[in-house]
Amino acid sequence: MIKKIAINTGGGDAPGLNAVIQAATLAATKRGWEVVGIREGYSGLLDPQNYPSGGLVRLTPESVQDISHLGGTILGTVNKGNPFKVTESLQGGIKVEKDRSDELMEAFKKNQIDALIAIGGDGSLTIANSFYKRGLRVVGVPKTIDNDLESTVLTFGYQTAVSFATECIDRLHSTADAHRRIFVVEVMGRYAGWIALNSGIAGRADAILIPEIPYSIQKVADHITSSKRPYAIVVVAEGAKPVGGEVMVMAREAGRQERLGGVAEQISTQLQQLTAQESRAMVLGHLLRGGSPIAFDRILGLTFGAAAVGALAKGESGVMVALQPPRICSVPLAEAVAKMKLVPVEGDGVSTARALDICLGD
């Protein structure tokens, strides 16, 4: 029997996180469960003394009513907060790693939390899985703008990132044309090229460089010089690397993933030399993660949030909700027009909570 659940957000933020929190809260409250949010990953539970207004936030339908359109996360997040490996500083500047997972399991018990909805990327979900193995009831919700999780077709935040990157690339065409310049646009995505590939195609780039296919700078230069366009736009994923070369790492820090970046500047310099055409580098970086989610990501986030509660209600644990629609296929036209998909509406209106149930076929 579940009476109380907790929700947390971990890793880099992604537009749509608040939509997940909203739907999970609505769906859980409807089932009579109490909902709390843990501040900044697991920190609110582990170190509540650091939060003057409490490490846990009570989430109610009223408190989450107007958040699904907001970027960021109302709970805050961390991307170096693995409770199994907390770095602590001793006297003399010595750093040690401590496993605080027992403390955390105890804190879940003390706060009478029966289950956790963990919203995160590969790092956060690996931690969530470790807690599941320790006996905590856990359902994961995939989150990353990189869209690099194998078992879900889409993650929320990704389409927002692609849309914004496309808008930026669109804007560069006119200034690139006016100056007959090359623009090299670097986008996030870590070791995956999804954002670069799709924003590059949508934004009509001359070349798109992704981690999955190492590039030859000479081939890119030849393509630009042979093009009829007087200017060029090259979209490059931060994790792209040349044939036989390595990804460009900006910083390495203990306890967190390496930070990628700098490839656009390098490529821009090389292209200017090889083509004798002026070139500029442009890094879109965190602009792709900030701001409001587009409608698609709000809906995907809401659907994932409600589905996570549905999974817990069915007794599932140690699972992640995922979007796995069938591939695009052909259906007979007669069948397609005969089967119009209408949302059944009760009475003369439908509440958000009911609409989510309808989406999930409840």
Positions in the binding site for ligand F6P (CB under 6 A): 12, 79, 121, 144-146, 188-190, 238, 259-260, 289
Structure tokens at 165: 């990157």
Structure tokens at 84: 């199994």
DSSP 24-79: HHHHHHHTT-EEEEESTTTHHHH-GGG-TT-SEEEE-TTTTTT-TT-SS-TT---S
Closer residue to ligand F6P in complex, CB, 148/206: 148
Residue 261 beta carbon to ligand F6P: minimum distance, rounded to whole angstroms: 8
**Is 146 known to be catalytic?**
yes
d(CA 354, CA 346): 9
Residue 25 beta carbon to ligand F6P: minimum distance, rounded to whole angstroms: 25
Closer residue to ligand F6P in complex, CB, 133/259: 259
- The amino acid at residue 57 is V
Closer residue to ligand F6P in complex, CB, 146/297: 146
Residue 146 beta carbon to ligand F6P: minimum distance, rounded to whole angstroms: 5
Residue 91 beta carbon to ligand F6P: minimum distance, rounded to whole angstroms: 29
The residue of the chain with the least Cβ separation from ligand F6P equals 188
Closer residue to ligand F6P in complex, CB, 176/288: 288
CA distances from 360 to 282, 308, 356 (A): 41, 11, 6
Task: Go through 287-304 and write b for each residue having 16 or more CB atoms within 10 A of its CB, e for each that does not.
Answer: ebbeebbbeebbbbbbbb
Catalytic site residue from 13, 102, 146, 222: 146
Structure tokens at 115: 């289950």
As annotated, the active-site residues are 146
